[in-house]
């Protein structure tokens, strides 16, 4: 534990700016959704968040490279990142829970299964199925088709799994002091991540343009976009983090035995990868 | 967690009152002026900010409750429109839970966890500032929804769909974002507390050496990180249903409004333990001090807390008994809920055993702690009654439930925060709080709170539904008593503010060990605690040997 060298930073202006930036983004989005204007507030807030985070992390990096941090500080960061990822796991757990609940309970009950089956009286003609092509209410139009998991989704699975492997190789390279191999593998990881996002974007286009899978297409479209959408957002964030790690690597930031920034980015990326495996299995295959 | 590099420092006595005394970084010029509070990274200043914020929200939420009680003073509609009444009950609940009780406990954790584990500050001080300042921002946004077209949220703090989606006012989108921000604040604050407890304990302090306040907060922080994201998720699904036409809570599209309830209560039940576990910790620290005996059954307290936390993930549907669950679910959730009463009983037993044959004195902090034990137990018992699924069909959504959760939350969680304030004020300000005023505050609060909430049991058992602005004549007497109690309790809190202000300004000087039965680490630093304490951690191994 501590030998009395734990670094306590002096006051900082970034946290409160970060709070205001976040508020601007959310309030802007709210105004946009409710009143139809305000996108510039949202955009400003979003950009401000990125800028403030950059400045905040710049301070942290400076302190770290200035030798102000000790092993105990390193552990604080590790606990911090670890529990943050746990909170993300629970965030996705809520969405997976939704998917399972709808498939195992809600739809069969609407179809009359179960002891009471009262809700079956609402739409007597409804037949449960998954993917739900014909939602109970006639006002909601279901999807016309679904994506084949063994085409683009499989390709995307390969992209992400490979990217996790290349990232691990990059990390090993960093630990062994092979900066060039670390950089190259990191670049490959990033490219794979971007490919994933492009394929995902194409899939969304297909869903909307040809398959009729939309946010409004009943519970199948809802869960599909909820899970893949938030996952895609996390891949995007992860790619931004990896890109800044690449930049830091180029600046010569990481030491063989001291590169938690890189490690944290890798943890995050692996987490996003694991979530995708869950998605591939339960959203696409089964 | 074995200590590795043990410095042979003597027990620290807070050597840096002026702030410049630390040799290792020389960065301690803290700002003065208003900016100081905006930019501070100091756990004591941030703790103070949290506590002031909590107290202000307690007042704002309290005024809303008094609007409700005023309307319910007599049957018929006198004071407010039903639409506004609904906004008041909803806002009252949201503000008390997310604005008063939770930040109150986080403020106490900020102040006391580093002092009780011998840490120089919180593990991640800048993040700490961020966690705090998100809260005022979130609550300004939340309160502003009252002024928006269509009014603020009016569907109850539980926000059941479709009341909160299809039939909700337009401001609901802003309500969702404000809770998102409050949730981020909670998650980051909890991460900070866990990192501090796991990583910044003084050398030689094992987990089982920690005070119960620290223990309960460790477990609470875990609960927060586990369930706040679920709340964020379900709110996001609401947002999508409202603004993007998804069908999560819409059966016509294949979704299910009951799904909302499952997700909400998967968050909601652990949430009620988030609001009571730190209270258990506070009482477990105060009772031994004024009984002048070590806590009875320390390790059983720790295990009881941990098992409550684990069980709290398995009982959520006791809030949904009457929604139409399969029979097995009714039975499972009924028995699981009753099981929670066992570790809770262990705790009450241990407090009483600690009192047994103690040399007890009745300082205000102790009075509040003792009232907690008695009155929280009443709430626990009514909880057990509600847990009986077949009986709950009668109680559900009546004033009996309102009585239950107010007993656990007001003379429970809120009293524990007040006890903690009276207990630690000497450490924060260097002065003892005024005992005479404190006793007045205590007795008025106890009488007020019981007059306010006890009759609700009867009104509920007789069938009075909750969340209504008008009611049948036979409930009139109970409601009048409740309203009188409500105003008594509400106005007594002005005394509380007075005691605090007085104590900050002056009073009898308190020594480092302000209570003669107090043994924890925070009492080894001077009163008031200097801005920086334990910059060199105290060596706890010396105490062991
Ligand atoms: C012995 C422990 C407890 C048991 C067995 C218990 C049981 C219950 C049950 C069965 C209900 C649902 C009643 C209904 O809606 O019909 C309920 C509601 C509630 N309980 Fe408890 N409870 C316990 C402790 C607590 C604690 C410690 C707190 C908070 C600090 C709490 C806060 C609440 C709240 C806020 C509600 C109502 C939520 C709402 O509908 O707005 N309970 N409790
Ligand atoms: Cu509950």
CB atoms within 10 A of CB A222: 30
Instruction: Check CB contact under 8 Å for B230 and A94.
Output: yes
Task: Using the atom order of ligand 1, give the atom closest to the CA of residue B386.
Answer: 10
Q: Which residues contact A112 (CB under 8 A, 6 or more apart)?
A: A120
Write out the two tokens for B16.
């840096």
Nearest to B233 by CA among B255, B276, B262: B262
Report CA-CA distances (Å) from B241 to B166, B253, B268.
8, 11, 21
Residue B35 is predicted with a pLDDT of 87
Q: Hey, which of B275, B281, B401 would you mutate to test ligand 1's pocket, going by the most ligand atoms within 8 Å of its Cβ?
A: B401
> Rounded to whole angstroms, how far apart are CA atoms B420 and B216?
14
Is the residue at B235 inside a domain? Answer: yes
Backbone angles phi, psi at B431, to 5 degrees: -125, 150
Q: Count the residues in chain B.
A: 545
Q: Count the residues in chain A.
A: 286
Chain A residue with Cα closest to B180: A26
The residue with tokens 């990191």 is A186
Nearest to B116 by CA among B52, B189, B207: B207
What structural domains does chain A harbor? 12-68 (1.10.287.70), 74-285 (1.20.120.80)
Write out the two tokens for B372.
């907690």
Of the candidates B215, B273, B298, B399, the residue annotated as catalytic is B273
- Domain range for B277: 36-544
Chain A CB contacts of B248 under 8 Å are 98, 219, 222-223, 226
Is the residue at B402 inside a domain? Answer: yes
Write out the two tokens for B192.
């900070």
Residue B34 is predicted with a pLDDT of 78
Nearest to A94 by CA among B262, B158, B314: B262
Is the residue at B361 inside a domain? Answer: yes
Chain A residue with Cα closest to B177: A26
Judged by its nearest atom, the ligand closest to the C-alpha of residue B385 is 1
Q: Which residues contact A170 (CB under 8 A, 6 or more apart)?
A: A181, A182, A183, A184, A185, A186, A189
Q: How far off is chain B from A188, nearest CA to CA, in Å?
A: 32
Is the beta carbon of B276 within 6 A of some atom in ligand 1?
yes
Instruction: Check CB contact under 8 Å for A19 and B127.
Output: no
How far, in Å, is the centroid of ligand 2 from the Cα of B103? 21
Estimate to the nearest angstrom the gap between the alpha carbon of A171 and the chain centroid.
21
Tens digit of pLDDT at every position of chain B (545 positions): 333 333 333 333 433 333 333 333 344 555 677 788 999 999 999 999 999 999 999 999 999 999 999 999 999 999 999 999 999 999 999 999 999 999 999 999 999 999 999 999 999 999 999 999 999 999 999 999 999 999 999 999 999 999 999 999 999 999 999 999 999 999 999 999 999 999 999 999 999 999 999 999 999 999 999 999 999 999 999 999 999 999 999 999 999 999 999 999 999 999 999 999 999 999 999 999 999 999 999 999 999 999 999 999 999 999 999 998 999 999 999 999 999 999 999 999 999 999 999 999 999 999 999 999 999 999 999 999 999 999 999 999 999 999 999 999 999 999 999 999 999 999 999 999 999 999 999 999 999 999 999 999 999 999 999 999 999 999 999 999 999 999 999 999 999 999 999 999 999 999 999 999 999 999 999 999 999 999 888 988 855 54
Is the pLDDT at A117 greater than 80, yes or no?
no
Decide: A106 and A135 in contact? Cβ < 8 Å.
no
Nearest to B187 by CA among B142, B134, B139: B134
> Rounded to whole angstroms, how far apart are CA atoms A162 and A269?
12
Estimate to the nearest angstrom the gap between the alpha carbon of B431 and the chain centroid.
25
| Number of domains forming the structure of chain B | 1
Which of 17-56 (B) contact A at CB < 8 A?
24-25, 27-31, 35-36, 38-42
Of the candidates B145, B159, B186, B196, the residue annotated as catalytic is B186
Is the residue at B10 inside a domain? Answer: no
Give the one of B29, B237, B247 whose C-beta lies nearest to A140's C-beta: B247
Write out the two tokens for B416.
């524990």
Residue in B12, B254, B270, B535 to test binding to A, most A beta-carbons within 10 Å: B254
Is the residue at B244 inside a domain? Answer: yes
Tell me whether residue B422 is one of the annotated catalytic residues: no
Q: Which helix (H) or strand (E) holds B543?
A: helix B541-544
> Rounded to whole angstroms, how far apart are CA atoms B80 and B480?
17
How far, in Å, is the centroid of ligand 2 from the Cα of A98? 20
Is the residue at B9 inside a domain? Answer: no
Backbone angles phi, psi at B398, to 5 degrees: -110, 175
> Rounded to whole angstroms, how far apart are CA atoms A20 and A2?
34
Give the one of B39, B229, B255 whose C-beta lies nearest to A106's C-beta: B255
Confidence of residue A10 (pLDDT cuts 50, 70, 90): confident
Q: What is the DSSP string of B346-401?
A: HHHHHHHHHHTT------HHHHHHHHHHHHHHHHHHHHHHHHSHHHHHHHTTBHHH
Report CA-CA distances (Å) from B444 to B441, B449, B494.
5, 8, 11
Q: How far off is chain A from B366, nearest CA to CA, in Å?
A: 35
Q: Which helix (H) or strand (E) holds B10?
A: none
Report CA-CA distances (Å) from A230 to A7, A235, B9, B214.
36, 9, 50, 35
Residue A115 is predicted with a pLDDT of 64
How far, in Å, is the centroid of ligand 1 from the Cα of B258? 19
Chain B CB contacts of A116 under 8 Å are 324
Which residue's CA lies nearest to atom 1 of ligand 1? B380
Instruction: Check CB contact under 8 Å for A80 and B225.
Output: no
Write out the two tokens for A45.
């807030």
When mean pLDDT is compared across A72-76, A146-150, B13-17, B109-113, the lowest value belongs to B13-17
The residue with tokens 């903690």 is B420
Instruction: Check CB contact under 8 Å for A16 and B141.
Output: no
Nearest to B536 by CA among B525, B527, B544: B525
Helix (H, G, I), strand (E, B) or coil at A83: helix
Q: Which helix (H) or strand (E) holds A134?
A: none
Q: Which residues contact A210 (CB under 8 A, 6 or more apart)?
A: A144, A145
> Rounded to whole angstroms, how far apart are CA atoms B515 and B310?
35
Give strand ranges (E) for A133-246: none
Which residues are registered as beta bridge partners of B465? B398
Is the pLDDT at A2 greater than 70, yes or no?
no
Dihedral angle at the C-alpha atoms of B487, B490, B496, B498, nearest 10 degrees? Answer: -70
Residue B539 is predicted with a pLDDT of 87
Nearest to B390 by CA among B337, B323, B340, B321: B321
Pick left, alpha or beta for residue B159 (phi over 0 → left; psi -120 to 50 → alpha; otherwise beta). Answer: left
> Rounded to whole angstroms, how far apart are CA atoms B366 and B420?
9
Instruction: Check CB contact under 8 Å for A98 and B248.
Output: yes
Helix (H, G, I), strand (E, B) or coil at B47: helix
Chain A CB contacts of B327 under 8 Å are 115
Q: Hey, which of B383, B406, B407, B410 would you mutate to test ligand 1's pocket, going by the most ligand atoms within 8 Å of its Cβ?
A: B383
What digits encode the pLDDT tens for the residues A22-68? 999 999 999 999 999 999 999 999 999 999 999 999 999 999 999 99
Is the pLDDT at A167 greater than 60, yes or no?
yes
Decide: B541 and B203 in contact? Cβ < 8 Å.
yes
Which residue's CA lies nearest to atom 23 of ligand 1? B383
Tell me whether residue B131 is one of the annotated catalytic residues: no
Task: Using the atom order of ligand 1, give the atom closest to the CA of residue B156.
Answer: 41
Cα diameter, chain A: 72
Q: Which residues contact A286 (CB under 8 A, 6 or more apart)?
A: none
Q: Where are the alpha helices (DSSP H) in chain A?
A: 14-35, 39-65, 71-101, 107-110, 152-176, 179-206, 218-250, 260-279
> Rounded to whole angstroms, how far apart are CA atoms B192 and B112?
14
Report the CATH number at residue B115: 1.20.210.10
Estimate to the nearest angstrom the gap between the alpha carbon of B397 and the chain centroid.
23
Nearest to A75 by CA among A6, A158, A152, A167: A6
Instruction: Check CB contact under 8 Å for B39 and A16.
Output: yes
Estimate to the nearest angstrom the gap between the alpha carbon of B32 and the chain centroid.
31
Confidence of residue A112 (pLDDT cuts 50, 70, 90): confident
Write out the two tokens for B308.
């409550």
HSE-CB at B401 with a 13 A cutoff on CA atoms is 19
End-to-end CA distance of chain B, in Å? 18
Tell me whether residue B284 is one of the annotated catalytic residues: yes
Confidence of residue A4 (pLDDT cuts 50, 70, 90): low
Is the residue at B354 inside a domain? Answer: yes
Q: Hey, which of B272, B337, B400 would you mutate to test ligand 1's pocket, going by the most ligand atoms within 8 Å of its Cβ?
A: B272
Backbone angles phi, psi at B537, to 5 degrees: -65, 145
Chain A residue with Cα closest to B199: A76
Is the beta carbon of B404 within 6 A of some atom in ligand 1?
yes
Which of 428-487 (B) contact A at CB < 8 A?
none
How buried is A78 (Cβ within 10 angstroms: 0-12 exposed, 13-18 middle, 19+ buried)? middle
Is the residue at B16 inside a domain? Answer: no
Which of 517-536 (B) contact A at CB < 8 A?
532, 535-536
Residue B543 is predicted with a pLDDT of 52
Which residue's CA lies nearest to atom 29 of ligand 1? B272
How buried is B294 (Cβ within 10 angstroms: 0-12 exposed, 13-18 middle, 19+ buried)? exposed
Is the torsion defined by CA of B55, B56, B60, B61 positive or negative? negative
The residue with tokens 């709808």 is A102
Confidence of residue A113 (pLDDT cuts 50, 70, 90): confident
CB of B152 less than 8 A from some CB of A:
no
> Rounded to whole angstroms, how far apart are CA atoms B330 and B317?
8
């Amino acid at each position: 534990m501590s030998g009395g060298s734990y670094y306590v930073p002096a006051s900082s202006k970034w946290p409160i700016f970060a709070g205001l930036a976040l508020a601007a983004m959310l309030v802007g989005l709210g105004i946009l959704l409710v009143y139809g204007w305000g996108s510039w507030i949202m955009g400003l807030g979003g950009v401000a968040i990125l800028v403030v985070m950059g400045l905040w992390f710049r301070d942290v990096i400076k302190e770290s490279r200035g030798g102000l941090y000790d092993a105990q500080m390193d552990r604080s960061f590790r606990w911090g990142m670890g529990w943050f990822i746990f909170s993300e796991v629970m965030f996705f757990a809520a969405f997976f829970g939704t998917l399972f609940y709808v498939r195992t309970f809600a739809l069969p009950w609407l179809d009359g299964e179960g002891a009471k089956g009262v809700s079956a009286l609402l739409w007597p003609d409804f037949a449960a199925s998954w993917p739900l092509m014909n939602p109970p209410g006639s006002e909601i139009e279901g999807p016309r088709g679904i994506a084949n998991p063994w085409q683009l989704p499989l390709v995307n699975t390969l992209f992400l799994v490979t990217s996790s492997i290349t990232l691990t190789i990059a990390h090993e390279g960093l630990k062994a002091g092979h900066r060039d191999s670390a950089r190259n593998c990191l670049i490959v990881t990033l490219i794979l991540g971007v490919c994933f996002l492009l394929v995902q974007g194409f899939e969304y286009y297909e869903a909307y343009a040809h398959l009729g899978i939309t946010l409004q297409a009943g519970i199948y479209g809802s869960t599909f976009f909820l899970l893949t959408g938030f996952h895609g957002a996390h891949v995007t964030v992860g790619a931004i983090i990896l890109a800044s790690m690449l930049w830091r690597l180029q600046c010569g930031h990481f030491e063989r035995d001291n590169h938690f920034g890189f490690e944290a980015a890798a943890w995050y990326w692996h987490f996003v990868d694991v979530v995708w495996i869950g998605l591939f299995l339960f959203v696409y295959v089964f | 967690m074995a200590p590795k590099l043990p410095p042979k420092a003597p027990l620290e006595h807070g050597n840096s009152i002026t702030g410049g005394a630390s040799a290792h970084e020389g960065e301690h010029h803290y700002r003065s002026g208003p900016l100081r509070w905006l930019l501070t990274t100091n756990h004591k200043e941030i703790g103070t900010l949290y506590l002031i914020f909590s107290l202000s929200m307690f007042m704002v939420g309290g005024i809303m409750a008094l609007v409700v009680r005023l309307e319910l003073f007599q049957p018929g509609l006198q004071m407010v429109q039903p639409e506004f009444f609904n906004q008041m009950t909803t806002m009252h609940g949201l503000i008390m839970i997310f604005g008063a009780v939770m930040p109150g406990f986080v403020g106490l954790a900020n102040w006391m966890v580093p002092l009780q584990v011998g840490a120089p500050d919180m593990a991640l001080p800048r993040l700490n500032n961020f966690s705090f300042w998100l809260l005022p921002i979130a609550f300004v946004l939340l309160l502003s929804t009252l002024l928006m077209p269509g009014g603020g949220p009016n569907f109850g703090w539980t926000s059941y769909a479709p009341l909160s989606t299809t039939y909700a006012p337009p401001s609901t989108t802003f309500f969702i974002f404000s809770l998102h921000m409050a949730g981020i604040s909670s998650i980051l604050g909890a991460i900070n507390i866990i990192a501090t407890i796991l990583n910044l304990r003084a050398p030689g302090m094992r987990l089982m050496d920690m005070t119960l306040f620290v223990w309960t907060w460790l477990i609470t922080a875990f609960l927060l990180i586990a369930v706040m994201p679920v709340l964020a998720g379900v709110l996001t699904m609401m947002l999508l249903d409202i603004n993007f036409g998804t069908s999560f809570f819409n059966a016509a599209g294949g979704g299910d409004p009951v799904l909302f309830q499952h997700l909400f209560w998967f968050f909601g039940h652990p949430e009620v333990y988030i609001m009571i576990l730190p209270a258990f910790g506070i009482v477990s620290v105060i009772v031994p001090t004024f009984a002048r005996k070590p806590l009875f059954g320390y390790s059983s307290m720790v295990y009881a807390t941990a098992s409550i936390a684990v069980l709290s993930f398995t009982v959520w549907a006791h809030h949904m008994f009457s929604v139409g669950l399969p029979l097995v679910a009714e039975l499972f959730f009924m028995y699981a809920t009753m099981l929670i009463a066992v570790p809770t009983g262990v705790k009450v037993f241990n407090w009483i055993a600690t009192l047994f044959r103690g040399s007890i004195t009745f300082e205000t902090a102790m009075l509040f702690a003792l009232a907690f034990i008695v009155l929280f137990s009443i709430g626990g018992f009514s909880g057990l009654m509600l847990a009986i699924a077949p009986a709950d069909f009668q109680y559900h959504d009546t004033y009996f439930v309102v009585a239950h959760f107010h007993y656990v939350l007001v003379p429970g969680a809120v009293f524990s925060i007040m006890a903690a304030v009276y207990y630690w004020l000497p450490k924060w300000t260097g002065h003892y709080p005024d005992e005479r005023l404190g006793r007045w505050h205590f007795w008025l609060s106890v009488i007020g709170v019981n007059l306010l909430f006890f009759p609700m049991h009867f009104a509920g058992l007789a069938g009075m539904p909750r969340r209504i602005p008008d009611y049948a004549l036979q409930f009139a007497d109970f409601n009048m008593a409740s309203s009188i109690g409500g105003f008594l309790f509400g106005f007594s809190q002005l005394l509380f503010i007075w005691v605090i202000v007085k104590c900050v300004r002056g009073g009898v000087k308190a020594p480092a060990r302000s209570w003669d039965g107090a043994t924890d680490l925070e009492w080894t630093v001077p009163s008031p605690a200097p801005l920086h304490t334990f910059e060199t951690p105290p060596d706890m191994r010396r105490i062991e040997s």
